[in-house]
Amino acid sequence: MSENKVWFITGTSSGFGRALAEEVLAKGERVVATARKPEVLRDLTQKYPDTVRAVKLDVTNLEDVKNAISEAVKEFGRIDVLVNNAGYALAGAIEEATDEQIRQQFDTNLFGVLNVTREALPVLRQQKSGHIVNISSVVGFSAMGSLGIYSASKFALEGVSEALAAEVAPLGIKTTLVEPGPFYTGGVERAVFADNLLPEAYPLTAQLPNAFKDFNTTAGDPVKAVKIIIEAVESANTPFRLPLGLPAYEAIEAKLEQVKQEISVWRERAIDTNFDVAANA
């Protein structure tokens, strides 16, 4: 059997998923490239017929998930790197999003990751090896107004990833949480806007389309980003948390400083919470 890794990547029709699949295949490694419409991956399967398998996968569909993991093991015998990349952004203030939109956001960005990871874990445990890469976002660490539901879904993913890393490390399985800043992946074009827009109350939402246009002129190169992800996976000193791009580092560093300052103000008062000792005790 080839020593080249087997990568299972969700959401490979575009963005980071597509760039990562192309880069991994160019290195001679094997890829299970998943998408809701696998026919969009035909060019990859034609170019790399022996090392890529295009598999239908809607991460919110449990039957799809089971079939995709089973197909990966059937075709290549193992999964070395699981990349949970599938996701999208819901734009709008908290009040502007509908119940259905909020649930759909979490179904994809959080429960979709859980569906795929939980199905893959028995394979990784049996191998006593593997690497789980969860694609979060800088807004999963430092939330933005009018991207609150999207931020919340990524905050939840970060909590799951931290716990997962602690749980699976003793089993020989590594975990990396990727936190990209703005990259030109087409994600802003695929963003879904809340249905109940209230522009007078939440002008920031109304400004997002123009902000997204500016974003596309300043965003980073996803090819460079995925090369760093591959380098991190191959590193002997694998990082758990991997921000990508200067804006991500600046936002995370600013949030850490803000939190440190905020909690210090009330520290002395707030830590004094033990029961009072009776004077005559």
Which of 137, 142, 146, 150 is labelled catalytic? 150
CA distance 245 to 183: 8
Quick check: is 249 catalytic?
no
What is the rounded (10 degree) CA torsion for 15, 16, 19, 21? Answer: -120
Which of 13, 48, 136, 153 is labelled catalytic? 136
Q: Is the dihedral of CA 87, 185, 16, 136 positive or negative?
A: negative
Cβ 240 vs Cβ 175: under 8 Å:
yes
Tokens of residue 11, six digits: 């959401």
Cβ 116 vs Cβ 70: under 8 Å:
no
Cβ 105 vs Cβ 84: under 8 Å:
no
Which of 5, 137, 154, 174 is labelled catalytic? 154
Cβ 178 vs Cβ 20: under 8 Å:
no
Q: Is the dihedral of CA 2, 23, 181, 98 positive or negative?
A: negative
Q: Which helix (H) or strand (E) holds 209?
A: helix 203-218
Quick check: is 13 catalytic?
no
Q: Which helix (H) or strand (E) holds 174?
A: strand 173-180
Half-sphere exposure in the Cβ direction for 91 (13 Å, CA): 18
With b for 16 or more beta-carbon neighbours within 10 A and e for fewer, the 106-120 pattern comes to bebbbbbbbbbbebb
Quick check: is 260 catalytic?
no
Q: Would you name the residues annotated as active-site residues?
A: 136, 150, 154
